[in-house]
Amino acid sequence: MKHRIQVSDEVALNVDDFGSGQPLVFLHGWPANNTMFEYQADFVVENGYRYIGIDHRGFGLSDRAADGYDYDTIADDIQKVVDELNLKDIIVVGFSVGGALALKYGVKHNSSNLKKMVLLGPAGPSFVQRDGYPYGLKPEDVTALIEQINDDQPKAIGDFGEDSFFNSDIEVSDEYKQYFNAMTLTSSLIGTVKLAESLRDEDLREEIKSLDLPVYGIHGTADHVCPIEFSEYLEKEAPDYTLSKVEGAGHALFFEKKDEVNRLLLEALKK
């Protein structure tokens, strides 16, 4: 089933909803959409869960918007979906920037209705290097990427897609890479740029210290986009973060080692 859920006067979100049981709210990475979770969606539904896949504003089949690509607004979008669908006892699963958005959501909208979160290769607490945080890209590198996107979005996104499969010991077919690249190019230019700006500018290091719920991280040791140091930092600084390392997997661990990732995901769901 597909839902069109109005989150503002100008923006309705596409939400995929199938299966039954405890609802799992999936938050996709930049610049993809919730279709990227196909191998996880089928798996969790077969194991008795309800899959709720949100396309963020500006991505996939959701409406594009002039603004609202900051973490705070997107966290509110997620809560509006939860409220509209009357979801109870939810678990949030976030990949890459979806992991960072999950962190923001967990801080801002934590309640007894949110049971836990599972983060796959999260792009947080900060995607870029900062004072006291020497991990990830430099801010100017992301600015250069944004300039490349504004100049030639298909080429810039294609190059980024190669990075997602880079530095991994798993062979990924050219056909899957082409499929994934085509998926990312459904994203609006404005959404792609504005969410990249948020990746560059948002810093959740202080906020995660108040994250009062269990969080399980699943992270590839060969991740070139979101280094595993992100999750190691979260394990040290967040109150209740448990990290599972996927040896040899790059950023696209959701496909490269889907069987292992799905097994770890199910283990986290059942804890």
SS3 category, 115: strand
User: What pLDDT score does 159 carry?
Assistant: 84
State both tokens at 25: 């709210």
Dist. CA 105–CA 100, nearest whole Å: 9
pLDDT digits (tens, 9 = 90+) for 91-147: 999 999 999 999 999 999 999 999 999 999 999 999 999 999 999 999 999 999 999
CA 61 from centroid of its chain's CA atoms: 17
Q: Which amino acid is at 253?
A: L
- Bridge partners of 19, per DSSP, are 50
State both tokens at 109: 């909208």
- Structural domains counted in the chain: 1
User: What pLDDT score does 57 carry?
Assistant: 98
How many helices (H) does the chain have, and how many strands (E)?
10, 8
User: What pLDDT score does 25 carry?
Assistant: 99
Which letter does DSSP use for residue 34 in this model? G
User: What pLDDT score does 167 carry?
Assistant: 59
User: What pLDDT score does 236 carry?
Assistant: 98
For the chain, residues with pLDDT lower than 50 are none
Give the CATH number of the domain where residue 105 resides. 3.40.50.1820
Residue 120: domain span: 2-270
pLDDT digits (tens, 9 = 90+) for 194-215: 999 999 999 999 999 999 999 9
CA neighbor of 25 nearest in space, from 71, 86, 67, 73? 86
Residues serving a catalytic function are 96, 223, 251
Dist. CA 123–CA 97, nearest whole Å: 5
